[in-house]
């Protein structure tokens, strides 16, 4: 299982992605659609049209990693958002990869420090 520290920014591309894209194609999406720096250590998640494949792009300081998951059965749930890209918190990728439905999932109230 992928362990993600809570300090890492995680972004989900909500549009279907061509899974034939490699590093350069996904980096182009990050720069163009996210308007983000792919070298800042954030995780960028991409899901295909059938929602049975997921790629995660990550820069570790010395190079890019590309994680690829293919489901044998079932689909990933796409998180609804206003635009093509959305930022998610560090718990949601584990829920997404674990097959838990995010619809109807309710967060309990927690203390948050004012910014």
Higher pLDDT, 32 or 4: 32
pLDDT higher than threshold 90 for residue 7 = no
Strand order in the sheet with 43-47: 64-70, 53-59, 43-47, 10-13, 85-88
pLDDT higher than threshold 80 for residue 98 = no
Q: Which pLDDT score is estimated for 88?
A: 83
Higher pLDDT, 85 or 25: 25
Higher pLDDT, 77 or 58: 58
pTM of this prediction exceeds 0.95: no
For the chain, what is the mean pLDDT? 84
């Amino acid at each position: 299982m992928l362990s993600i520290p809570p300090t890492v920014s995680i972004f989900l591309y909500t549009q279907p992605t061509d899974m034939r894209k490699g590093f350069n194609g996904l980096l182009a999406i990050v720069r163009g659609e996210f308007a983000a720096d792919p070298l800042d250590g954030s995780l960028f998640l991409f899901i295909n049209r059938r929602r049975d494949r997921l790629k995660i792009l990550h820069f570790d300081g010395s190079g890019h990693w590309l994680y690829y998951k293919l489901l044998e059965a079932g689909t990933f749930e796409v998180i609804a958002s206003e635009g093509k890209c959305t930022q998610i918190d560090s718990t949601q990728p584990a829920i997404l990869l674990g097959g838990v439905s995010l619809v109807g999932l309710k967060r309990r109230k927690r203390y948050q420090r004012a910014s």
